[in-house]
Amino acid sequence: MMDQLALTWELEETKHRQKSKPRLGVMINGVRLTEIISQFEQQQGIGEFNDVFLHESDVQEYSLFNWLKSLEEGDVRIILLGCSCGQVECSFFYANVCNRDGWVYWQFDGWPKRDYSEFPSFWFNASEYQQVIEDALLHHQ
């Protein structure tokens, strides 16, 4: 059975009830990626996970090109989460993406280096994957 990817632009309320900048939320099989990682790190005793989904401007700077590149056959790395302090370079979590023969495979890693060798990997149907990416990133207003 293929995994299901969903990308959504999420708005959070600030302390002063103002809308924040949108973040690109990543869900796999109906579960937020941040929750999947947090549960894994708790099970592994790694420590508290604090990375957050990227703001729209960070998606533009750090990952939009690679999201679009992942629609083509080949290998690419996509930064999915960045440090909660606001500096993506401080700490980030990424997918190593392989697109081949109608399938898209995600395997994960991060910085600073942690052991994600036991973290689940995911397989997506390439045509469904492409539709999700295009809807979220090319048709986003």
Could you report the per-residue pLDDT of 61-114, keeping only the tens digit for each? 999 999 999 999 999 999 999 998 888 888 899 999 999 999 999 999 988 877
At residue 137, the pLDDT reads: 94
Range of the domain at 69: 5-138
Where residue 87 sits, what CATH number does that domain have?
Answer: 3.30.2450
Q: Tell me the pLDDT band of 46, cut-offs 50, 70 and 90.
A: confident
Q: For the chain, what is the domain count?
A: 1
This prediction's pTM: 0.91
Which of 4-13, 28-37, 65-74 comes out lowest in average pLDDT? 4-13
Going by C-beta distance under 8 Å and a sequence separation of 6 or more, which residues neighbour residue 49? Answer: 34, 37, 38, 41
